Structure 1
Amino acid sequence: MSRQHTILITMGVMMSLFMASMESTVIATAMPGIVRDLGDIESFSWVFAIYMLTSTTAGPIFGRLSDLFGRRPVYMVAIAIFSLGSLLCGLATTMPMLIAARALQGLGAGGLLPLAFIIVGDIFTLDQRAKVQGLFSGVWGISSVIGPLIGGFLVDQISWHWVFWINLPPAAIAAALVWIAWRDPVRANAKRPPIDIAGALLLSVGIILLLLGLDQPTTPSGILMLSAAVATLALLVMVELRAPAPILPFHLLRDRTFAIACLHGILAGGVLFGSMNYVPLFAQGVLGTSATEAGTTLTPLMLGWVFTSIIGGRLLLRMSYRTLTIGGMVMFVAGAILMARLRPDMSRLELAIALGLMGIGMGASIPSFLIAVQSTVARNVLGAATASLQFSRTIGGTIGVAVLGTLLTNRLSAELAARGLQADAVPVEALIGEGATAMTLAGEPRLALAAALTAVFAAPLVFALLALAVTFLAPSHSPDDLRRKREQREEVTTAKEVAPQQAG
């Protein structure tokens, strides 16, 4: 592939990565305006969660399909679905319509997010990937964190509809660049394994049941759904272990690097995305900031993430990825400890330091694990392995958002009741958005929200500590070790592909 084509592809997938990951958080500062227009604050968390649900479920499916049918056609399908979902989100006139459109948007994003990293794994060598993957991880971090800032600006200056419509022009440009420049390699005339339809269905049903159960975990219906989710996911494991081309490659869990990377992704993703979605709410509802100002509170996280991703990619060529990830996770836990001490009189500097440390931790660990995994798996499962690693982070984030959303709802109701207030008697404007600025910071609804959010930010600390602990279990591979493991896997894969042809 020529250098010019490589540059065009990189630009295209970087744009699509930016959009898809931004949409997971851009909604945070737009929700106050959306709730004021559409009502139904009870569905607040579902606008976040449904996007993460569909993108989480779709990721492994798109990744495996790209192994079977090629990267370019699968990428085009994903970006078309994402664009349609973005258009419909901006046209929504009710909260159920918005949630349905966000589900479609998330479905497309579930293809774009892993495909960006899969394509990077295809077109770059290990040394190039260590540099470029850090840049891509930085873009992913920037877009995830800058989303609330962009959302706040668009809501304040134009309208919340443009939070979604802004995706349409860059999506068209990204699709054109990839379509023109990408050429899938010519495939051997080997028989293509069947699509794992059973695995895709079980994965979708299991994740939906899990999220529904987590929304009301203490109710009889919630317990029933959680039980059904466990049974469905157990059946999924059995099916995937027997499938010729499984959506989720559970056999790769025998590789310690892949297994630890996925476990780290679940734990760290839950802490990061679960907490990050509620920082702008704290800024608006407790500190009384505007939507744009609330978005800027996440800037330190963005800067820490980007800087460390770029520097870490280069350090990875000189040191063990395990050393880099452990150092990053120590920083991540330090930030989580500071976030657990969040309170109404917390200084902006303390909040910035906490978020900055968390950004540094993710910037050091995410690209390191990704590069290590892509360097150890065979090329014929590169898409499935990369998408599964992405899946681990998004499923962690999905669970984190759902659990913390339930915790926030329950604690807020309890705090309001303790102050002699009924939850349904407190208008939305009394807690979030511009209407809150008319109240004093000592207002009872504001104090109730502050107390509830304190519990929300304290809970993830346990999982941050667990994420650090599992990182110590990762094998220590130097860059040379990763190169040798990749060569060995390629030799094994080539032998398996040649053997049937020789037998025939």
Structure 2
Amino acid sequence: MSSSSSSSALRSPPPIAAWSELFSGRNGWRALALTGGVALHAVNVHIVTTVLPSVVREIGGLDWYAWSTTLFVVGSILGATLSVRLLAVLGPRGACLAALAVFGAGSAGCALAPAMPWMLAGRAVQGLGGGLLAALSYGLIQLVFEQRLWPRAVALVSGMWGVATLCGPAVGGLFAQAGHWRWAFWFLLPVAAAQALLVLVQLRPEMGVKYARPATPPRVPMLQIGLLAASVLVIAASGLWVDLLRQAAGLALGLAIGFAATRIDSRAAVRVLPRGAYAMSAPLGAIYASVALLLIGTETEIFVPYFLQLLHGHSPLMAGYLAAAMAGGWSAGSLLSSGRSGTGADRMLRAGPVICTLGLLALAWLLPSQEFFGAGFETLLIAVALAAVGLGVGIGWPHLITRVMSLAPKGDEGLASASITTVQLYGMAVGAAVAGLVANAAGLAVPGGVEGAQSAALWLFAGFALAPAAAVWLAYRAVAKRSL
């Protein structure tokens, strides 16, 4: 790690501002303009998670169930990477408007889908727009706010997932129960238009949002991004084979391609991650790895509505809200812990992965069972376990993100901000791809039915608990290195 990043690690962070300062005056309107795009992206995630069982019942494609998330997140990785160049070319307002236009086009494609391949193409375009929106929201935080407002702003952006837990399942569930899942996607278009109007007004230079465009737009590391996308797609494709040996070989090949991407990036002139990001012995590297592992663990969420409907008899609306408990726990944890600093923040970083691991292990026991405790109490336990998984991520999230920003070597600050979303999305993409592989291998489609779903739920949640368990060790290393 460079000396500049080492000195950054030793500097005490500035005192954290109060929430009232973030919401007052121009800061409040800027915060709304930044977070609205993330809210749209998050609501969409919960809408699709809720309606997807209805989608496969109408147009088929159970074998491709996880691909809806996989391709969405692969598109998001590309979008997050392109966000730096888009910002340099179009500025804050133009970049956000372009991202909203791409997202709207993808949503319309999903609404018109006659078959699963069309739906998957629409999801990839949606992901491209969503990745742009998410990366721009994080990237613009350090541009429009003072550093002492960063933790509050990051927590607010994360808190939009809490808003999504209220809106997304309701929209998706109501349309799914009415037999009109396509209208859930059409619903997103007027919301995107309203957000575009807000951006158009509030991110004008006249409103105090100043941005000096570079003389030469930054180059995009397309080789590394292409390899990362290829690694995810190879892992996802390996789940289509029935033979376990071929599945294992596909998984190993996909991970090897991902590792090759990191090796190339560590030596490249145009990088995805800042200098020092691949050194696990350094705090910055440990934090990036923790982000990826925690996000891998949360991708079990994509199968929760399917398991709840098939194994526990819940309606699409109820299943959607229960699945959203994970995002709700994330948002609550992020908002409640954002005011912590120093040793308090260190405790949040240590405790988070432990709570996440315990939540996944509880789900591995609860979801395959059917009325072991009685329907009502069992539903409550499932909701608590799902919320615990999200809470484990959320209580450390503001501190993980702000430390990436503060530990970034001098000159890599902008790259570090954009790369947060890239690492987050790659973790989600790998998680979704492996989740589909594990679920299919455990019998989700063959033999299928209740027996296959019970087996898939057990193996999926028990296996994915290993990811946050590894993050426990990394979090302790990152905190210990910082305190030296």
TM class by shorter chain equals 0.7 to 0.9
Q: Pairwise mapping of residues 253-332 of structure 1 onto structure 2 (< 5 A)?
A: 253-254=278-279, 256-273=282-299, 275-316=300-341, 319-332=343-356
TM-aligned CA deviation for residue 408 of structure 1: 1.9
What are the equivalent positions in structure 2 for 1:105-504 lying under 5 Å apart? 105-143=126-164, 147-157=168-178, 159-182=180-203, 183=205, 185-187=210-212, 193-213=218-238, 215-216=240-241, 229=254, 232-233=257-258, 236-237=261-262, 239-249=264-274, 251-254=276-279, 256-273=282-299, 275-316=300-341, 319-342=343-366, 343-346=369-372, 347-377=378-408, 381-412=412-443, 416=447, 445-475=449-479
CA–CA distance in 1 between the matches of 2:436 and 2:132? 26
Cα distance, 1:53–1:8 mapped onto 2, change above 3 Å? same
Choose 1 or 2 for highest CA Rg. 1
Moved more, 82-91 or 148-157: 148-157
CA distance in 2, matches of 1:220, 1:451: 19
Deviation at 1:469, TM superposition (A): 1.8
Aligned-pair CA distance for 1:152: 1.4
State the TM-score, normalized to the length of structure 1: 0.79
Match of 1:494 in 2: none
5+ residue gaps, structure 2: 1-21, 373-377
Q: Cα offset for 1:290?
A: 0.9
Aligned counterparts of 1:74 and 1:47: Cα–Cα separation in 2? 26
Please list, as runs of the form range in 1=range in 2, the aligned pairs for 1:1-150 lying within 5 A after superposition: 4-63=25-84, 65-66=86-87, 70-143=91-164, 147-150=168-171
Q: Is the 8 A contact 1:60 1:248 kept in 2?
A: no
- Equivalent pair of 2:66/2:435 in contact (CA under 8 Å): no
- Distance (whole Å) between structure 2 residues aligned to residue 233 and residue 448 of structure 1: 30
How far apart in 2 are the matches of 1:240 and 1:373?
18
Contact 1:25 1:147 in 2 (8 A): yes
Contact 1:57 1:207 in 2 (8 A): no
Deviation at 1:447, TM superposition (A): 4.0
Q: For residue 69 of structure 2, what is the amino acid of its counterpart? A: F
Q: Which residue of 1 aligns with 2:6?
A: none
- The question of whether the paired residues in 2 share the 8 Å contact of 1:67 and 1:380 is answered with no
In structure 2, the partner of 1:427 is none
TM-aligned CA deviation for residue 224 of structure 1:
6.8
Residue aligned with 1:246, SS? coil
Cα drift, residue 455 of structure 1: 2.1
Q: What corresponds to 2:9 in structure 1?
A: none
Which runs of 5 or more structure 1 residues have no equivalent in the other structure? 417-422, 424-444, 482-504
- In the alignment, the residues of structure 2 paired with residue 300 and residue 169 of structure 1 have an alpha-carbon distance, to the nearest angstrom, of 26
Once residues 283 and 267 of structure 1 are traced to their aligned partners in structure 2, the CA distance between those partners, rounded to angstroms, is 25
Please report how far the alpha carbon of residue 217 of structure 1 lies from its aligned counterpart in structure 2 after TM superposition: 9.0
**2:273 and 2:418 mapped to 1: Cα distance?**
9
Change (3 A) 1:366 1:218: farther
* Cα 1:15/1:379, change in 2 over 3 Å: farther
Asked whether the 8 Å contact 2:440–2:446 carries over to 1, the reply is no
For 2:455 and 2:233, the matched residues in 1 are separated by 30
Q: Which moved more, 1:165-174 or 1:146-155?
A: 146-155
Q: Is the contact made by 1:53 and 1:207 (CA closer than 8 Å) also made in structure 2?
A: yes
The 1:315/1:406 distance shift into structure 2, 3 A limit, reads: same
- Letter of the structure 2 residue corresponding to residue 452 of structure 1: A
Larger deviation, residues 348-357 vs 193-202: 193-202
How far apart are residue 328 of structure 1 and its match? Answer: 2.3
Q: Deviations over 1:470-493 (max 9, x none)?
A: 111113699xx9xxxxxxxxxxxx
The 1:448/1:223 distance shift into structure 2, 3 A limit, reads closer
In 2, distance between residues paired with 1:320 and 1:393?
A: 24
Please give the alpha-carbon distance, in whole angstroms, between the structure 2 residues aligned to 1:283 and 1:381.
Answer: 44
| Aligned-residue RMSD, C-alpha | 3.2
1:109: how far off? 0.8
Displacement after TM superposition at 1:294 (Å): 0.9
SS of the residue 2:210 aligns to: coil
Q: Distance in 1 between matches of 2:481 and 2:453?
A: 46
When structure 1 is superposed on structure 2, of 92-101 and 467-476 the one drifting more is: 467-476
* SS of structure 2 residue aligned to 1:351: helix
1:210, CA displacement in angstroms? Answer: 4.0
1:259 maps to amino acid: G
Instruction: Work out whether residues 54 and 106 of structure 1, in 8 Å CA contact, stay in contact via their aligned partners in 2.
Output: yes
TM-aligned CA deviation for residue 193 of structure 1:
4.9
The alpha-carbon distance between structure 1 residues 464 and 248, as it changes in their structure 2 partners (threshold 3 A), is closer
8 Å CA contact 2:33–2:202 kept in 1: the answer is no
SS at match of 1:393: helix
Counterpart of 1:16, as a letter, is G
Whether contact under 8 Å (1:83, 1:171) holds in the other structure is: yes
> Alignment partner of 1:88: what SS?
helix
Listed one character per residue, the Cα deviations across residues 83-115 of structure 1 (whole Å, up to 9, x for unaligned) are 110111111112111111111111111111121
Could you tell me how far apart the structure 2 residues matched to 1:113 and 1:96 are? 25
Question: What is the SS of the residue equivalent to 1:33?
Answer: helix
Report how many residues are paired.
450
**TM-superposed deviation, 1:196:** 3.5
Q: Give secondary structure in 2 for the equivalent of 1:26.
A: helix
Check whether the contact 1:145–1:298 (CA below 8 A) recurs between aligned residues. no
Paired with 2:60 and 2:43, the residues of 1 have a C-alpha distance of: 24
